[in-house]
Structure 1
Amino acid sequence: MQGVLDGFGVIAAVIGVGFVLAHTGVLDVAAQQVLARLVFFVATPCLLLTLLMKADLHRVFSAGLVIAFVSVVVAAGVYVVVARLIWRRDTAETVVGALCSSYVNAGNLGLPIAVYVLGGGAAIAPILLMQLLVLTPTAFAVLDLVTSGRRPSVLRVLAQPLRNPITIGSSVGVAIALSGRRPPTVVVDPLTMIGQIAVPAALLAYGVALRLGPRPLADTSVADVATVAVLKVLVQPLVAWAVAAGPFGLRGHDLLAVVVVASLPTAQNIFVYATRYGRAEVLARDAIFVTTLCSVPVLLGIAALLA
């Protein structure tokens, strides 16, 4: 349980620094936008490339990958149905909301929690890879098409991943892992150095948004945020538990691992993505805030029940 608290403590501290910097005038809204663009176009692609190039793909392509995929599809799918058929949200807002409902904070929160609670970071690999190679490119393809103002064509849809830096970074990392050959140090070290700023910069940008933007839940629909929170911290881990314990028959530590990973809150990346496309930024910010708070007791309860 201490690992859960430690992971949240680190995140809260860096977000707090961003909040204070905005409060004292060191960073403003323009700085937040610069940080978000730096994370999206430069730092995150470098981080994902260097992480995935070292991934053990045999371990990644396991039952955990299927469980992660099913839990994400269910959580995101329920939100899409509600947002489109009941609330009549447009496509871009629906995509951001679906990401808020299913995209777990596998990097800056999931890794420390996995290390402290599960004894290692291997459990994070399947959902991290699934999000990077399936969920993110799909969401970006839709967002690029609906925000570009251009009529979609087959060629444009197929070429969409080639224009997105995060998808490119992830794909190159997997290609290097599959090749079994590591690039020279003079190439890897600069990429690693740049990638290391992705997490703190995203958290700082989020802290600035909390201070300078509308108060949490002031300018968003309570129904939207509540739906996201329920899907993210309750429905997604319940689906993961049902699939893992049922068809795959997982027990003990393996069951605990997949449920803990599915219970992680919405990733700060979603706020960066929403800012990049100029859609549902406040919803993304508030969803991260609420799901992070709600996931603390959920993760503690799961650790107590299944550990």
Structure 2
Amino acid sequence: MTGVLAGFATIAVIIGFGMLLAHAGIVDDAGQRTLSAVAFFLASPALLFTVLQDNDVGRVFSGNLVAIVGGVVVTGAVTITVAVARREELGRSVIATMCSSYCNAGNLGLPIAAYALGDAALIAPVLLLQLLVLQPLALTVLDVAASPERPSLGRVLSRPLTNPITVASATGLAVALSGVEVPGAVNDPLALVGAMAVPAMLLAYGVSLRLGPLPGRGVPPGELALATGLKLLVQPAAAYAVGLLVGLDDAALLAVAVISALPTAQNVFVLAGRYGRAELLARDAIFVSTLGCVPVVIGIVAVLA
């Protein structure tokens, strides 16, 4: 349980640094956009490549993955249904769906898996699912929504290949599958650059919190409540139910419930800023779900452990 609280505390401190930089006038809106751009185009691809190249890909194809996918499908379906009923713009609908189903599997999921669940490798299924399936799909739809003209099918299918995050993820997976050892002259600089991805995201998020409207004031309360309620309550419950159906043992059920209850990932805010879609919703969903995740995860561990 100490590891869970330590993970949240680390995130809060770095976000606080971002708020302090903005309050002191050191980083303004332009600086926040620069931080987000560096994280999106350089640091995040480097981080994803270095993380994925060392992953045991076999862990992805397991009952845990089936349960986690079930939780994502349920929350995503609810969000999309509501968006269609409200006739929301496509790009905003994509960000809203990510807010309700895209977990903070990296900088928060890893310490929670390691210290609360006892095995950092348990985060691998959701990490790879998001990096290799959900995020490329979301990026493709966002690219289509941002295009001034209707793109051809060939352009739609090729868009993931032009996105640095998708390319880095696919390359890292290919290295993991092939067993090729990346030379230190290549890997070391990438690891160094990748190490600034999470801090850059969190600092940019903190700057946005200080310079923008206070959380809860820039987004309709019902929309924010739907996104965070689905993320913190419905997704872990659905993953647990699917896990029961596929016959997971108690330890695996605890793992999929805790992992599915992780808050909305910071890179959702980076993507929202990159494409200019639902930035305040992404920011507020991250803020509220990160705070709400603490009692939810503690409750799940207390009940199921």
For this structure pair, what is the TM-score category when the shorter chain's length is used for normalisation?
A: over 0.9
Instruction: Tell me the distance in 2 between the aligned counterparts of 1:254 and 1:279.
Output: 36
Indicate yes or no: 2:291 matched with 1:287: no
Partner of 1:118: 117
Q: In the aligned structure 2, how far is the partner of 1:15 from the partner of 1:128?
A: 22
Counterpart of 1:187 in structure 2 is 186
Please list the CA deviations of residues 31-73 of structure 1 after superposition, one character each: whole Å capped at 9, or x if unmatched. Answer: 1000000000000011001111111011222112222212111
After TM superposition, the structure 1 = structure 2 runs for residues 222-241 of structure 1, keeping only pairs within 5 Å, are 222-241=221-240
Query: Deviation at 1:270?
Result: 0.3
Which amino acid in structure 1 is aligned with residue 162 of structure 2?
R
Instruction: Report 1:128-277 matches (<5 A).
Output: 128-245=127-244, 247-277=245-275
What fraction of aligned residue pairs are identical, expressed as a percent? 55
Gaps of 5+ in 2: none
Which shifted more, 234-243 or 61-70?
61-70
CA distance in 1, matches of 2:36, 2:101: 21
Given the alignment of the two structures, is residue 27 of structure 1 paired with residue 27 of structure 2, yes or no?
yes
Kindly state the Cα deviation for residue 3 of structure 1 after the two structures are TM-superposed. 2.0
* Distance across 2 between alignment mates of 1:76 and 1:248: 21
| 1:302 to partner: Cα distance | 0.4
SS of 1:21's partner is helix
Alpha-carbon shift at residue 205 of structure 1 (Å): 0.3
1:18 is matched with which residue? 18
The normalised TM-score by structure 1 is 0.98
Give unmatched runs, 5+ long, in structure 1.
none
Matched residues in 1 for 2:131 and 2:90: separation? 21
Q: Structure 2 counterpart of 1:20, which letter? A: L
**Map of 2:92 onto structure 1:** 93
Which residue identity is paired with 1:45? Answer: P
C-alpha separation in 2, matches of 1:66 and 1:131: 13
CA distance in 2, matches of 1:165, 1:150: 23
Q: Which amino acid aligns with 1:48?
A: L
Runs in 1 of length 4+ with deviation above 3 angstroms? Answer: none
Deviations 1:111-158 (A, max 9, x none): 111111011211110000000111001111010011021212111011
* Partner AA of 1:39 in structure 2: A
Q: Deviations over 1:159-178 (max 9, x none)?
A: 11111111001000001111
2:181, 2:63 → 1: CA distance? 27
Q: What CA distance in whole angstroms lies between the structure 2 residues aligned with 1:61 and 1:197?
A: 30
TM-score of the two chains, using structure 2 as the length reference:
0.98
Residue in structure 1 matched with residue 75 of structure 2 by the alignment: 75
Q: Is the 8 A contact 1:68 1:130 kept in 2?
A: no
Is this contact kept in 2: 1:110–1:264, CA < 8 A? yes
2-structure distance, mates of 1:110, 1:145: 30
The answer to whether the 8 Å contact 2:69/2:239 transfers is no
Contact 1:225–1:287 (CA under 8 A) maintained in structure 2: yes
Give the C-alpha shift of residue 2 in structure 1: 2.0
* Counterpart-to-counterpart distance in 2, 1:251 and 1:230: 26
Amino acid at match of 1:161: P
Residue type at the aligned position of 1:36: S
**Contact 2:64–2:248 under 8 Å retained in 1:** no
1:251: Cα distance to partner? 2.4
Task: Please report how far the alpha carbon of residue 17 of structure 1 lies from its aligned counterpart in structure 2 after TM superposition.
Answer: 0.6
